[in-house]
Structure formats: structure tokens, C-alpha cells
Amino acid sequence: MSDSIKVIVEKCIGCGLCIKVCPFSAITIVNKKAIIDLAKCNLCGACKDACKFEAITIFKPQIAKSDFSSYKDVWVFVESERGKISGVSFELLGKAKELAHDLHSKVVAVFLGKNIKEKAQTLISKGADKVILVDKPELENFISENYANVISHLIKKYKPEIFLAGATTCGRSLVSRIAVTIYTGLTADCTGLHIDREKRLLVQTRPAFGGNIMAQIITPNYRPQMSTVRHKVMQEQAEDAKRKGEIIEEVIDGPFIDARIKFIEFIQEEISKVNLSDADIIVSGGRGIADSKNFKLIEELAQTLGGAVGASRATVDSGWISYSHQVGQTGRTVAPKIYIACGISGQIQHLVGMQSSKIIVAINKDPDAPIFKVANYGIVGDLFSIVPLLIKKFKEPR
């Protein structure tokens, strides 16, 4: 039985208070009585709290408490591309170490691929206590169906308490399949994780309602607790070559490889000379640059500084620059040493993607722009006057 909501007709007077607070426009008034569209309602409870006449009730069935005592350890999926382990995996190992400390458990890296055993020690040096290896020629290239089949088998065998993966293209396609297969919850695009020690719950923080609020989500009734985490929001720990750990080589046989799917070729997108996620300096343009042709100014400043070009969603939606440059909630999360925002107002959707930058420089002619609240340095003025001056200054011989 699932949760349900009901209007008590005898108490409802059709005042409309519930309509005003419903974020999903799921309520209408018919003949002075509230009617809830269950197809739109997500049972958030806002209408129930707003009703002064106690005319709305939410029924939550009692769920028998499960025994999770056999579940232990924090697992991290190790993502790699063309033989190189992705940075987000190292970031997650660092965070997993913190979570495992609060749970008095261990960090386990799950690594699939071909000829990968020699890389296992790197994962231990970066925080893993154990590494579960599945080394098969069929796993050389990432195919989400095959990887999900193998990892689902491992989860059922070892029973981890928490499973983490990067909120990347690979991570998102993989973990959703695993969650469905093993029947557990999944929180996507997390920007924060911590442990409720009393209840041994993973508290997963992510932007919600277009980034206007930060939601905290838990999975109390199923295991493992699963999250995908954005790149550059967790801190990678320093490598310790002296760390010792256990390497477990799993031999996987059986129908784990989906014969219907074949890897043909990987074609890398040529987006820029500097990778946005790895850049130490990023110069981003927003709606204030007024036209696509003015991105040449942003590109020149970025090139002068040896940095990468970023962009706000507004400029991408306008077709001024490709999506691969987008920084923000629906784009890339970055954490460069210097982030220069040119003509970007600083809406929360953009801020969640770059607020971890060590130094933020904002250039905007609006002195009340929200970007100035997070900027370390702010320049109020016309970017078309200021940016050329910066380019000229940085090009001067030293």
C-alpha cells in the first residue's frame, strides 16, 4: 500500500489556502470543495499544513522495520575512461572515508574493466580499504547494462550499506539500473552527504525546485542507500602510497553480458583546448554579453589566462554557445582556483555549479546582482569596457 491523500468534504469550505501553497498546481476548487489531482500530487504535505480546518489528511501505511544488521561498508564505483580513473572517483573515496568513519565501517572501491589489477593500489592509496576487482575482456568498455548486471550481483553477495557513484553520464545511466534491479532508493546529483549517527542513515543533500531549496533525502527502509554525486563538490584526499588494503578478485561467470549490445566506437567531443572540469581558471559569460559574437571577448580573456570558457544556462538556451560549456545545476559543476563571471547575474541555479571556486571575480553593471554576494572580488561596470582592459593588462610583459 502506498501513501495517499484525501479531502474531508465535511470540513472543507473551499477557502483556497491549499491552492496557494501547492507547488504542483494539483488542487482546484469545485462547488466550494477542494479537489486533488493525484496524478500531479507528490504528497509533500504543504496543503495539509496550510489548511486551518484540518480538512486534508495524508495516510502513510506502516512499514515493517527491516533488519539491516548484515549490511556494512561504503562502496564507491570506480569510473574510468580509456584506462584513466576519473577524478570524481577519487573525490568519492575521500568522502566515503569520512562516512565510513562515522559508521565504523570500511571503504570499498568497485573496479570493473580489463587489465586493471595494477591500478588497484592507487585506489588504496586514495582511501580505499578494499578493492573488489572484476577483470574481464568483456568489461573493457563501459556498457551500462553489463556493468549494472555485474555490480547488482556483487551487491547481493556482499550487502554494502552505502553505494556512491559520480553524477556523470556513466554514473547516472549505471546506478539507476542497479537501483531498479536490487529494489532500493536512489538520490541523484547530490552536493552534500553526511551520516545521521543515531539512525545510521545517509543524509543526502541535493538542489530541488529548480535550485531554490536544498532538499535532504534519506532511505530508511531499503539498502543499500545509493547516491550519485557531482564532480568537484567533494574534496579529493592526498595520496598515501604507504596505505595497505585488501584486493578481492571476483570471477564473474554466467549471463552477465548482454549479447544484444556491442561497443563500436568512442568519439570524443572536441569542446576546447582546456577541459572545463579540470581547469584552474574559468572565464564565464552570461546574458550580459548580449550576443553570441561577444563570446570572442570571453574566449580571448580565457586564452590570455590559460583558462577555459564557461557559460550560463541563458546563453546556452539562446544558442550562443554549446551545452558543453554550461556551468550550473543543469550543466557542469566546477571548482577552479579562479572563476571570473562576466555579465552573469548569479541565480541559484548557476551558483550551485561554481560556488566551490576558491576565488570568484564578478563583473556586472548591476550593483545589486546576486553574484556579488558570493564573489571575493566585484567590479561594478560595463564588461565591454572592463574585460578589454583586463586582457591588455594580463598581456603586458612581466
180-193: average pLDDT = 92
The per-residue pLDDT for 268 is 67
**How far is residue 52's CA from residue 17's CA, in Å, rounded to a whole number?**
8
164-172: average pLDDT = 91
Residues of CATH 3.40.50.620 domain(s) within the chain? 74-249
The per-residue pLDDT for 342 is 96
Q: Which superfamily, per CATH, for 74-249? A: HUPs (3.40.50.620)
Give percent of the chain with pLDDT exceeding 90.
65
Residues of CATH 3.30.70.20 domain(s) within the chain? 4-59
The per-residue pLDDT for 310 is 93
Q: What is the DSSP letter of 238?
A: P
Residues 88 and 79: beta-carbon distance below 8 Å: yes
The per-residue pLDDT for 252 is 84
The residues with which 326 forms a beta bridge, in sequence order, are 311
**Is the preceding peptide bond at 224 cis, omega within 30 degrees of 0?**
yes
pLDDT over threshold 80, residue 70: yes
CATH, domain 281-395, list 2.40.30.110, 3.40.50.1220, 3.40.50.150, 2.40.160.40:
3.40.50.1220
- What separation in angstroms does the CA of 75 have from each of 50, 128, 150, 225, 237? 41, 9, 14, 10, 16
φ, ψ for residue 264 (rounded to 5)? -105, -55
pLDDT over threshold 60, residue 272: no
pLDDT over threshold 80, residue 167: yes
Query: What mean pLDDT, rounded, does the chain reach?
Result: 89
Helical segments of the chain, H only: 17-21, 46-50, 87-103, 120-125, 144-158, 169-182, 295-305, 313-317, 348-351, 371-374, 383-395
pTM above the 0.75 mark? no
Q: Which CATH class is domain 4-59?
A: alpha beta
Closest CA to 175 of 228, 132, 232, 252: 228
How many residues are present in the chain? 398
Residues 350-393: tens digit of each pLDDT: 988 888 899 999 999 999 999 999 999 999 999 999 999 999 99
